[in-house]
Amino acid sequence: MGKIIKKKISPRQKMINLMYVVLMAMLALNVSSDVLKGFVLVDEKLTLSTENSARVNEEVYKRFEQQYKANPTKVKVWYDKAQEVRGMTDSLYTMLEDLKLSIVKKSDGKDADVRNIRNKEDLEAATQVMLAPTIGRGEELHGAIESYRGRVVEMLADEAQRELVASNLNTDVPLEARVMGKNWQEYMFESMPTAAAVTLLTKLQSDIRYAEGQVLHDLVTNIDVKDIRVNQLNAYVIPSSRTVVQGGKFSAQIIMAAVDTTRRPSIFIGGREIDNSNGLYETVCTRTGDFTLKGFIETQNGEGQTVKREFEQQYTVVAPSATLSADIMNVLYAGYNNPISVSVPGVPTNQVSLSMTGGSLKQTAPGKYIAVPTNVGGNAEFTVSARQEGRSQVMGKFTYRVRKLPDPTAYIPVGDSHFMGGKISKQQLMAASGIGAAIDDGLLNIPFSVKGFETVFFDNLGNAVPEVSNGAGFTDRQKNLMRSLSRGKRFFITKIRAQGPDGLERTLNGALEVIVN
């Protein structure tokens, strides 16, 4: 049996092919630099807010120190609990800081700077640091958060605060991720850009400083007002989130330390008193940028005197953002089932929806769709929406150019392989029933239906002998002509007509040369 001789690929061409695959993979991500810059902005604001929380908490620790020195017998039990909270919070905070540095070093090298990430789009660094077999630290972090959450929640007396802290430090995996077999660390860090992974860890640092503050204020309430808070009465703003998507709501609990729980303080914002039935302040955010919530609180101390304290809280409103990627490349093909993936940072995929103009769209799984555009040479437009706070909000719009499927390559099926021209044994040739056509370039793998073709043989005088087939199979006449060929003789298969999944029939350029070996 003869061998099918394949043309060798030069090292230069191999390198070109590799670069092509890498480029297509990068294009498939479709993550804009603006989105990555957005992560950096959010990280900076979270870091600032975390530092502010740490300073507030440090002031409470100083008050504990003062009261412990003044009355150790009465304060010791609460002082010891405060030190316990400080130790476990600082330990987890340091672990998160170490993980951020490890991820950025994996992405940028030994001279990496967490505050100035160069390779923000790197998808491998977080995966390696958090999920690498035996050395990945994702499971360790998951266990540390679980342990911290359990210990902190037990120290909180108020049920609402217990639920809020538990929610902030929640490690449950969404249903769609569980169906895919993912654990918490895989759901959070698998294929996550470096900038996004660092922001997630900074958000966790902000959450534990917030939890630390809640426990400290709970512990403070267990000491007599005159012992701890009368001379250091302060107002505090506790936002549910310090970063808000445009169109969303900024929500904050406004409280005063040392207030009798049977009395509600008066809250003033912009010179006007607000409804203080539960201390919750909300305002719809219609513009992006940095904003400051300012006002003051009035209440009475234990001696009936009016006490006034001003408060101030910075927060950031960011524009909606979403990621949409064509799973094959950064174009769509008309009449073809193009796989599409969609996600919105910080929003579960089951709360994200996608709509399309210029074709049809079918959802196959959470965050996964099949798009079939119709207008060759035109555009297919997509709108990503996310359901938040009980309403649907547009998070991004994307436009893709629609192209016709490229022409396939003709071949003669030989066993499990495709013969695409050159020398072939007569035995293999006679065993073939006809020809096929397909696109198979490493990205697309699409079979086409052959509708007809023509073979051209040459008689002893060199005259061309054409023979037409009106389907994919060789005719009896064509088979007889093949059988009559001696070693070294050749014929050509040309005028191949093929139809793809887009329903378009095309005649392929060039000819398939067959040499009997």
DSSP-derived secondary structure for 362-400: EEEETTEEEEEE--TTSEEEEEEEEEETTEEEEEEEEEE
For position 121, what pLDDT does the model report?
A: 87
CATH of the domain spanning 233-319, picked from 2.60.40.10, 3.30.200.20, 1.10.150.530, 3.40.50.970: 2.60.40.10
Q: pLDDT for 92-112, tens place per residue?
A: 999 999 999 999 999 999 899
Please tell me which residue, 223 or 134, carries the higher pLDDT value. Answer: 134
Assign 314 a pLDDT band (cuts: 50, 70, 90): confident
Q: How far apart are CA 431 and CA 417, in angstroms?
A: 13
Assign 279 a pLDDT band (cuts: 50, 70, 90): low
pTM of the predicted model as reported, rounded to 2 decimal places: 0.41
For position 297, what pLDDT does the model report?
A: 84
Q: pLDDT for 440-468, tens place per residue?
A: 866 667 899 999 999 999 988 889 999 99
Tokens of 190: 């698998």
Strands 422-424 and 512-516: parallel
Backbone φ/ψ region at 367: left (φ over 0), alpha (ψ -120 to 50), beta: left
For position 267, what pLDDT does the model report?
A: 85
Contact 126/103 with Cβ under 8 angstroms?
Answer: yes
Dihedral sign computed on CA atoms, order 399, 405, 406, 408: positive
pLDDT at 4 exceeding the cut of 60: no
Q: Which of 298-307, 336-345, 484-493 has the lowest mean pLDDT?
A: 298-307
Closest CA to 493 of 412, 408, 406: 412
Can you tell me whether residue 34 is helix, strand or coil? helix
For position 26, what pLDDT does the model report?
A: 43
Closest CA to 435 of 443, 447, 426: 447
For range 185-195, the mean pLDDT = 88
Integer CA distances (angstroms), 352 to 1, 284, 325, 387, 508, in order: 57, 21, 14, 7, 42
> Could you tell me which CATH number the domain at 322-403 has?
2.60.40.60
Q: Which of 206-210, 253-257, 286-290 has the lowest mean pLDDT?
A: 253-257
For position 99, what pLDDT does the model report?
A: 93
For position 291, what pLDDT does the model report?
A: 76
Backbone φ/ψ region at 389: left (φ over 0), alpha (ψ -120 to 50), beta: left
Mean pLDDT over the full length of the chain: 81
Mention every residue, 6+ apart, whose C-beta is less than 8 A from residue 184.
138, 142, 171, 172, 173
**Which residue ranges make up each domain of the chain?**
31-230, 233-319, 322-403, 409-516
pLDDT at 232 exceeding the cut of 60: no
Strands 490-499 and 445-458: antiparallel
pLDDT at 405 exceeding the cut of 50: yes
Contact 193/31 with Cβ under 8 angstroms?
Answer: yes
Contact 353/385 with Cβ under 8 angstroms?
Answer: yes
Assign 374 a pLDDT band (cuts: 50, 70, 90): confident
For position 390, what pLDDT does the model report?
A: 75
For position 319, what pLDDT does the model report?
A: 60
Question: How far out from the chain centre does Cα 337 lie?
Answer: 23
The most confident of the ranges 18-32, 241-255, 288-302, 419-433 is 419-433
Q: How far apart are CA 62 and CA 68, in angstroms?
A: 10
Contact 116/109 with Cβ under 8 angstroms?
Answer: no
Q: How far apart are CA 490 and CA 238, in angstroms?
A: 83
Contact 255/229 with Cβ under 8 angstroms?
Answer: no
Q: Which of 24-33, 239-248, 329-338, 384-393 has the lowest mean pLDDT?
A: 24-33
Tokens of 145: 């958060």
Rounded to 5°, the CA angle 11-13-17 comes to 115
For position 229, what pLDDT does the model report?
A: 40
* Tokens 């672990």, residue located: 95
Residue 295's beta-bridge partner residues?
269, 311
| Topology alike, domains 233-319 and 322-403 | yes
For position 146, what pLDDT does the model report?
A: 93
For position 501, what pLDDT does the model report?
A: 87
Please tell me which residue, 330 or 482, carries the higher pLDDT value. Answer: 482
Strands in 301-431 per DSSP E? 306-318, 323-326, 332-333, 338-343, 352-357, 359-365, 368-373, 379-388, 391-403, 409-414, 417-419, 422-424
